[in-house]
Structure 1
Amino acid sequence: MGRDRPFKKIEKYALWSLFAQGEFGLCCPMSMTDAAATVLTNYASKEMKEKYVPRLTSTSMDDLFTAGQFMTEKHGGSDVGENTVSAKLNGDHYEIYGDKWFCSNVSGDVALVLARPEGAQEGSKGLAMFLVPKYLEDGTHNHYTILRLKDKLGTKDMASGEINFHGAIGYVVGSIDNGFKQMMSMVNASRLSNAVRSTGIMRRSFLEAIETAKEREAFGGKLIDLPMMQENLVEMQLDVEAAQAMILYTAHQFDENDQNVKGAKEMMRILTPILKGYICKRARYVSAEAMEVRGGNGYIEEWVNPRLVRDAHLGSIWEGTTNIVALDVIRAMRKEQAGEVLLSKLCETLTTLREGSELFNMAKSVVEAQITHVESVMQDVVESTDREVNAFARHFLELLYHTTVLVRFLEEAAVEVKESKSYRKLYVFFQYYRRYLSREPRSVQDARSTAAVSKQMLLWQTIHFEDVEEYGQYVLKQAVTI
């Protein structure tokens, strides 16, 4: 692309978010190919790297290889330790036998496959990672068969299928007893990619909704001027802006980890499943709400909304369901102290924020109180039984997401005031806090306090301090002691 350096992670994921607004499914092979190149770079032998990484990272379509990640089996699902696909040593390679149940980018040039070598222990620790090329050195097709393609709800543009390996030739990647851990590094990158793509779906859905509301006339005026419609659109926009802030923040942690910055590994370890769990789930809601804004037309295939709704449902399933990633958040907190690192980083950020107004300082105090509350909840989680935590895990994931969003919004608000003298993002902060973390239920007074400003927020217009102050003071009164 004419660049003198590779893309940073934050640049790459920002670009993917834009791409996903047009097409969700095709980002899957892009993501898996990117992750496969990273896994091979980190774990493969010198010969394997030299042979495959240039093809996986080529900008020439004639040379480019795409990759798949074949992990799921029919009986196991997310319980990968129950997998039964086997690998038998034969000279300098292994022969792979068995069935994989859900393989996306099934027609890719190479696949990273989890299989259990003969004699290996049970469970996930006995799984090895193998590189399985589509074609062998003599040009013949490798020994596996695509049994059928999946008739999926969405992502129709990207083939997923079932595969039978009948002596397929595969080559060990990295350490033979470290396959699952290596695969999880690929899954972690793919999980962030899912959140990025779901953010793209949410933004496209919101843009479709707001453009419809700006143009459609009903009940004597434009839809966007109706208070209830503004309420619907504001909620969608809050989800979009929160998700955008979070994916870029997390992508930055990936870049920091590449530079061995202290704490970045723990940050990306806990933020990735948090984003995967929350953003992908909210994409379902936002896409459905946007369909409803368009009314009956939104249900018609000539419009983009049905595709967005269908594709949005996949983000919460690929690379671990919401329950699975919620448990992963708990695991990251308990085993790697990633939760402590996250809260420490959030507090560190708050200490650097300066804006000057008493309202901003009071907002900071509310967030500081929220972090103290989360610290208390986190300690309770550490001291609770596995069964108790299992039931609470999704709620805890959401709590960490919302708290982190508040800090990101305050940071963005301080920059916005400095650069453009607008208080729009501070207004967004108060709207978000009131909806998701305020201990007092919302009332008609909320509508009175936001009536004059919501449309300005929706249209990304400058919002002056005096327009935010009344609503901000109202929200702070509802905050009480957390």
Structure 2
Amino acid sequence: MVFTLAQSQTEPPHATHEVANQPPLLAPYDASEDTALLEGLRREGAGWAEPDVRRLGVRAGGVQAQEWGESANRHEPVLRTHDRYGHRVDEVDFHPSWHDLMRVAVAEGLAGAPWADDRPGAHVARTAGGLVWGHTEAGHGCPTSMTYAAVPALRREPELAKIYEPLLTAREYDPELRVPTQKSGLLAGMGMTEKQGGSDVRTNTTTATPTAEPGVYTLRGHKWFTSAPMCDVFLVLAQAPGGLSCFLVPRVLPDGSRNTFRIQRLKDKLGNRSNASSEPEFDGTVSWLVGPEGQGVKTIIEMVNCTRLDCVMMSASLMRKTLVEAGHHVRHRSAFGARLLDQPLMRNVLADLALESEAATTLTLRLAGAADRAVRGDAGERAFRRIATAVGKYWVTKRGPAFAAEALECLGGNGYVEDSGMPRHYREAPLLSIWEGSGNVNALDVLRALTREPATAQALFGELDLARGADPRLDAAVARMRSELGGTTPSGARRLVERMALVLQASLLVRHAPAAVADAFCATRLGGDWGHAFGTLPDTADLDAILERNLPGGE
């Protein structure tokens, strides 16, 4: 057969490149289209914030905000230690998308704003806002979280709080480096860990030497992991004559000169790439004492309580984001003659992921409610917050990496490709179980609270008692946990804390979620009718009801 040019011109060009059976872009979508989140927002006393949360959710799922998140991670921050003339500057340059994300987050009250808001539920509203805005990207949540957490610690020194708190609670993002009191808004960071000790901050070697001016010290030492080094002020732990103490370190001094804050390098991290994490060196660095000498850990513990809550929030947000991505894919992708969403085993996987996501979101908002009521003087909620936040931090952040991996797998090979965004979420997930104390630190902290603060156990069981009699599997699990409390050794701490987290989540779902959700959770997480992987819900589980509640846009 003779092949002619005329024949070749009749063939459709690039016929093999036709795109079929691929999902459309997810954005724009509404990140606040989350029934459990909105119900929790109202239940925990912040229903007044729902219009703002919904508005922010639409913006978070918009094309522009999603592109900001992608660009901020593709174009990573760059350290400039010196200017062109050799002067030390120690500045970090960020892509414009980072600043866009920060500008919205601060303006929406996701940094220190709740501390200046007298409305009950202000801290719940912030947490709900973080749950939806977290659909953009996670890195910029670090400086907003630390700024939020710095305020209660700074209040240990009223004179300093009087100067800095109005700026830390402002809704103005001002990234320029200059005298803090000349700015419209501030960001705060923290410097605790050192290379020789990590979480064991009592072994810190950074020294604080008093000056002739009362309350003013100079610091000398090196911090191992200080995130967001572009912040305006930092709360830093150092050894003073009276023991480990907390200090406020501004990047720029009141006279306009640069404080000594030498950024030795930026960390090359697994994930969280948009956010700069650094090793700063102090050498004659001017600082102000926050709280009494020797009480640095006690002073900064309020900051840790706040950032641990944010670790739970960010993990829950990441779960929800990846669930939405997976649900979108399987709704529009077909295989073996049917949509993936209609394949029985895929429905089981998605329903199981939905259970985990709803449990994480519901617990997050309960913890936020406890925090809100605790700062308003509720002693019972303060005790509950003390233990439940550590429990939630341990468990929810532990579930995050496995959740992200399963959600990624729902996309198959597409999920393993960077363009899908799922690899970024997968790399992000492990950070949240490490930040503010790894699993062992949090598990042991729970044991410490049970031993030294009996009111915490009373508060926890008081919460669980609200669901007594609603489900026999929950009642049995609570009784078993109660019997284990007194005999748990440090080596068994993880087992106990895992059980505490599951019964707490189950009790909340039994009280507040539909029967289909509560029953499936208790059957699997408490009753043992569950495999080790996601997608092993029993045949009795009402998958349709779970998916209808948890997948946005219907089926």
Normalised-by-shorter TM-score class? 0.7 to 0.9
Distance 2:345 2:136 in 1: 28
- SS in structure 1 opposite 2:246? strand
Is 1:433 paired with 2:528?
Answer: no
Gaps of 5+ in 1: 121-125, 352-360, 382-388, 414-424, 463-482
Letter paired with 1:177: G
- SS in structure 2 opposite 1:101? coil
Distance 1:127 1:455 in 2: 55
Letter paired with 1:373: R
Q: Alignment partner for residue 510 of structure 2, among 400, 410, 414?
A: 410
Letter paired with 2:527: S
1:447 CA displacement: 4.3
1:296 CA displacement: 1.1
Letter paired with 1:154: G
Could you say which residue in structure 2 is the equivalent of 1:376? 483
Distance 1:179 1:296 in 2: 49
1:395 CA displacement: 1.0
Q: Alignment partner for residue 55 of structure 1, among 134, 150, 167?
A: 167
1:205 CA displacement: 0.6
- The alignment-based identity, stated in percent, is 34
Letter paired with 2:483: S
- SS in structure 2 opposite 1:460? helix
Q: Which runs of structure 2 are paired with 1:93-242 in the superposition (5 Å)? A: 93-117=216-240, 119-120=241-242, 126-242=243-359
1:55 CA displacement: 1.2
- SS in structure 1 opposite 2:511? helix
Q: Alignment partner for residue 346 of structure 1, among 464, 471, 474?
A: 464
Of 105-114 and 337-346, the range deviating more from structure 2: 337-346
Conserved in 1, the CA contact under 8 Å of 2:319 and 2:404? yes
Q: Which runs of structure 2 are paired with 1:287-298 in the superposition (5 Å)? A: 287-298=404-415
Conserved in 2, the CA contact under 8 Å of 1:274 and 1:397? yes
Distance 1:461 1:115 in 2: 47
Could you say which residue in structure 2 is the equivalent of 1:71? 192
Distance 2:462 2:117 in 1: 36
Letter paired with 1:68: G
Distance 2:405 2:467 in 1: 35
Runs (4 or more) in structure 1 with deviation over 4 Å come to: 1-7, 439-447
1:411 CA displacement: 1.2
TM-score, normalization by structure 2 = 0.73
Could you say which residue in structure 1 is the equivalent of 2:157? 44
- SS in structure 1 opposite 2:549? coil
Conserved in 1, the CA contact under 8 Å of 2:322 and 2:407? yes
Alignment length, in residue pairs?
Answer: 423
- SS in structure 2 opposite 1:95? strand
Q: Which runs of structure 2 are paired with 1:79-90 in the superposition (5 Å)? A: 79-90=200-211
Could you say which residue in structure 1 is the equivalent of 2:180? none
Letter paired with 1:437: L
* Cα separation, partners in 2 of 1:221 and 1:167, compared to 1, 3 Å: same
1:45 CA displacement: 3.0
* Cα separation, partners in 2 of 1:445 and 1:116, compared to 1, 3 Å: closer
Q: Which runs of structure 2 are paired with 1:386-465 in the superposition (5 Å)? A: 389-413=489-513, 425-439=514-528, 447-450=538-541, 453-460=542-549
- SS in structure 2 opposite 1:58? coil
| Higher percent of residues as helix | 1
1:245 CA displacement: 0.8
* Cα separation, partners in 2 of 1:308 and 1:441, compared to 1, 3 Å: closer
1:64 CA displacement: 1.1
Letter paired with 2:311: N
Distance 2:401 2:479 in 1: 31
CA deviation vs aligned residue, 1:117-137 (integer Å, no higher than 9, x gap): 1x34xxxxx210000000012
Could you say which residue in structure 1 is the equivalent of 2:51? none
Conserved in 2, the CA contact under 8 Å of 1:202 and 1:283? yes
Conserved in 2, the CA contact under 8 Å of 1:330 and 1:393? yes
1:13 CA displacement: 0.8
1:168 CA displacement: 0.3
TM-score, normalization by structure 1 = 0.84
- SS in structure 2 opposite 1:315? helix
